[in-house]
Amino acid sequence: MKERTQRVLTRFLTVNTCLTCEDLSKEFHVSERTFRNELVLINKYLAENNYPSLTTTRGKGMKLELSEVDREKLLSKIGEDREIDYYRPNERFLALLLDIVDTTKTTMLFQMEEKLQVSKSTLDEDMRRLRQFLKEYGISVVSLTKQGIVLKGDERSIRSMLYDVINSMTDIDYLMGYRDIDTVVNTFSDQFVLDYLDTNVLRIIGEHYDNILEKSRVEINHVYRNQSILFLGIWVRRLQEGNTLSELAKVRAEIKEEPVRKFVDSICMEFGLYPSLNEIKYTTFTIESFNPKDMNNSFDWVTAQLLAIQLIEHVEKVTRIPFSQKEEDLYEGLYKHITGLLSRAKNDLQVFNPLKNTIKDSYAEIYQAITCFRKQIEDYIKKPLSEDEIGFLTVYFSTSASQIKQKEQYVYQAVVLCNHGISTGKLLAANLKEQFNIEIVAVLSSYELAFIEKLDVDLVFTTISIDYPKKPVLLLNPILRESDKKEIKDFLLKNKDKKRTVSNTVDATNLMQDILALIVESGGKVTQESYQKVEKTFKEHHLKINTREIQPMLQDILRDSNILLKQECKDWKEAITKAAQLLVTEEVIEERYIDAMIKSVEEYGAYIVVGKHLALAHARPEDGVNKLGISVMTLKEPVNFGNPDNDPVKIVFCLAAVDSYSHLNVMKNLIELINDEEKLDQLIASRDVNVFNQVLYGSEVAELGKQQI
């Protein structure tokens, strides 16, 4: 039995539900026609071994009806029945690569001909393919007299190459022990990798991962866990063979005694490894990028926030799904993942997503929306964004969409036009609402046709033939028949863009914000005590409040005393210092925060120039922030920061944030400003603080500001 046929049969043996030909053809990446041929071979094999054939249930799919005992017997048998007369091209490729990369033995081509059971010409073609593949990683294949065939290239490139190949050519869940050996077909590719990396080594690394990181309360993601273990399995093997990083390949990140560092140290102790500090830094930083969290450098910190906010706004606009309603959870997930993504990009490490094709098919609209945003991310990482990463980002949005769907319902607002009497019309309206979630705004007679345009409706259902080009119209029987129901489904599908979102639960956050604003507008003052009383009252009336959404806007924290206009600065360092000194005076930040901001630009470049002529100076909260604050300064003469796309800088904001979330609204305000060149020009030209505020905060008063500038 061929390998794919084995895998398909194993799939049926390991589930008790029906599987459809359409779904399985996508899962195995073949056409439905090819897959049906596989089913013929499976039924033939089952008949030859005295087992019942696959049964088909209309509307559900196919299923293999067997007892648990027969399932176990058949699983053990099919593993022995594979045709092993020769290896397939991909299997030869992997076997050849792993033999060459193993520096504990000598690889000779004439020996590989015998081992792989191929002719010299076939092996020559395999070597040509291998050389072409390795060229993309900057790795070459050379032949040495005593060492045989060996790889020549940077050690990090060799490790990354091995990691990519193993991920793409094997079942990583099986390698890591997530699939029982008795319930999966063990392929030659899987076995080649297990022979190279050693099952026991992977198991031990996995145990250390779970014990140390779980006890440290580090959030463990199944996919990231497997990626980390595979990476470390390759790392251990390469170190054991004496293949280490060049000391010239410096790793910038400073490492602290945190869970991931302890995990890496435990692996070294377990296998008796004594790597250099450079190796420890490289490996620790890589594992941290697999398990993304709030990273330690300022570059990733704010860049990830900017990208997360912009991505949410973009995907919401394209898909029309109200992601802002679940923003706090979605933002945190995206922010952490993008932080890891930026770290991986800097280390030339690609994360592998085994579900990317399924994600792409299942959530096509969201996937495509993120794909359209990829250039913004690529501008930061300076390399292509992989489909694997797009798949991971899609998961965060699809999860959020699912949560929204549980709390929201999509409805159509419609009118019913019936000439058979109000009662019949109401019956039709009730059926439409019950069976299709259509909200009927009104039931009208034929004489009231003119009223339709006065109603807030999207669709018209009528029992009489009418000519009404302003809205989509469907002619129905007053008492719905099965044929009518099918027509309604098709009609709604064609007009799916007319759907509206209606909440099943009341989020009173905006209501509370409006009440607090009214208190201030009426001459009152919102104190901590009064705020707590309002919050308590809402809770007593069972009104849901998202306290994380009640965050200050830019106008809430930018004081007039923190605005400097038309200042002279000789260079970017002085510009940062002068803008930040305002916050030092008010004890928002400490002096060392200024040093941290300058050091960050020196180390990572002018990444703080986030928009045309606009710099957002910042460092980490732990670098000396006492409370949330912001200052702004415009420059009399522009200053170059070293950003070729956005220099020269004409306006500098200095942000002091206490965490990664509480200043989210401030970041949104700044993003809006970055995208509004006209407003930005007005701010830069302002000579008066009052005019500056009018331009910054209001559309109506902005017009007044224009006249005064």
Summarised one tens digit per residue, pLDDT across range 595-646 is 999 998 888 888 889 889 999 999 888 889 998 899 999 999 999 999 888 8
Of 540, 562, 583, which residue constitutes the final position of a domain?
540
**Statement: residue 439 has pLDDT above 70:** yes
Burial class (CB in 10 A: 0-12, 13-18, 19+), 175: buried
Of 407, 398, 415, 418, residue with least CA distance to 498: 415
Question: From the centroid of its chain, how far is CA 614?
Answer: 28
Record the tokens describing residue 293, joined without a space.
């969290």
**Statement: residue 97 has pLDDT above 80:** yes
* Shared domain check, 163 and 54: no
Residue carrying the six token digits 């709390």: 407
Find the Cα–Cα–Cα–Cα dihedral 521, 524, 530, 536, rounded to 10°.
-40
Residues 6+ apart with CB under 8 A from 290: 224, 227, 228, 231, 340, 344, 351
Would 476 be classed as within a structural domain? no
What integer is the mean pLDDT of 237-245? Answer: 92
What pLDDT does residue 595 have? 93
Backbone angles phi, psi at 440, to 5 degrees: -90, 115
Q: What is the mean pLDDT of the chain?
A: 81
- Active-site residue among 208, 337, 613, 618? 618
Residue carrying the six token digits 């710099």: 615
Of 292, 289, 334, residue with least CA distance to 309: 334
Please give the Cα distance from 706 to 683 (Å, whole number). Answer: 10
Summarised one tens digit per residue, pLDDT across range 652-673 is 999 988 876 677 778 888 888 8
* Shared domain check, 589 and 694: yes
Please give the Cα distance from 399 to 85 (Å, whole number). Answer: 46
Would 331 be classed as within a structural domain? no
Would 598 be classed as within a structural domain? yes
Domain of 64, CATH number, reads 1.10.10.10
**Statement: residue 413 has pLDDT above 80:** yes
Min mean pLDDT across 158-167, 276-285, 475-484 is at: 475-484
Summarised one tens digit per residue, pLDDT across range 103-162 is 888 888 888 888 888 888 999 999 999 999 999 889 999 988 777 899 999 898 899 899
Concerning whether 663 is annotated as a catalytic residue, the answer is no
Q: How many CB atoms lie within 10 A of CB 30?
A: 16
Residues 6+ apart with CB under 8 A from 140: 131, 134, 151, 152, 153
* Shared domain check, 192 and 273: yes
What integer is the mean pLDDT of 516-529? Answer: 70
* Shared domain check, 533 and 560: no
Of 57, 78, 99, which residue constitutes the final position of a domain?
78
Residue 307 identity: L
Would 247 be classed as within a structural domain? yes
What pLDDT does residue 544 have? 66
Q: In terms of residue numbers, what domain contains 669?
A: 554-708
* Shared domain check, 640 and 605: yes
CB 1 within 8 A of CB 85: no
Cα distances from 355 to residues 223, 387, 496, 551, in angstroms, run: 10, 11, 28, 36
* Shared domain check, 688 and 604: yes
* Shared domain check, 42 and 112: no
Of 498, 427, 433, residue with least CA distance to 463: 427
Summarised one tens digit per residue, pLDDT across range 34-84 is 888 889 989 998 998 899 999 988 877 888 888 888 888 888 787 666 555
Backbone angles phi, psi at 483, to 5 degrees: -65, -35
Would 343 be classed as within a structural domain? no
Of 298, 283, 165, 295, residue with least CA distance to 229: 283
Q: Give kind and range of the element (H or E) at residue 659.
A: none
DSSP string, 207-230: HHHHHHHHHTT----HHHHHHHHH
Summarised one tens digit per residue, pLDDT across range 311-352 is 999 999 999 888 876 666 788 888 888 888 887 887 777 777
* Shared domain check, 582 and 516: no
* Shared domain check, 256 and 135: yes
Q: How many CB atoms lie within 10 A of CB 604?
A: 16
Record the tokens describing residue 656, joined without a space.
């002091």
Please count the structural domains in the chain. 4
What pLDDT does residue 327 have? 64
590 vs 539, more confident: 590
* Shared domain check, 64 and 128: no
Of 56, 78, 100, which residue constitutes the final position of a domain?
78
**Statement: residue 355 has pLDDT above 80:** no
* Shared domain check, 595 and 531: no
What pLDDT does residue 137 have? 85
What pLDDT does residue 257 have? 63
Would 401 be classed as within a structural domain? no
Min mean pLDDT across 111-115, 176-180, 198-202, 681-685 is at: 176-180
What integer is the mean pLDDT of 511-519? Answer: 74
Q: How many CB atoms lie within 10 A of CB 285?
A: 24
Summarised one tens digit per residue, pLDDT across range 532-576 is 677 778 767 767 666 555 567 788 788 899 999 999 999 999 999
**Statement: residue 507 has pLDDT above 80:** no
Record the tokens describing residue 94, joined without a space.
């992997």
Find the Cα–Cα–Cα–Cα dihedral 139, 144, 147, 152, rounded to 10°.
-10
* Shared domain check, 188 and 64: no
Would 108 be classed as within a structural domain? yes
The confidence band for 98, taking pLDDT boundaries of 50, 70 and 90, is: very high
Domain of 566, CATH number, reads 3.40.930.10
DSSP string, 164-180: HHHHHHS-HHHHTTSS-
**What residue spans of 320-386 are helical by DSSP H?**
327-346, 356-362, 364-381
- For residue 53, the cross-strand partners are none
Would 51 be classed as within a structural domain? yes
What pLDDT does residue 592 have? 94
**Statement: residue 486 has pLDDT above 60:** yes
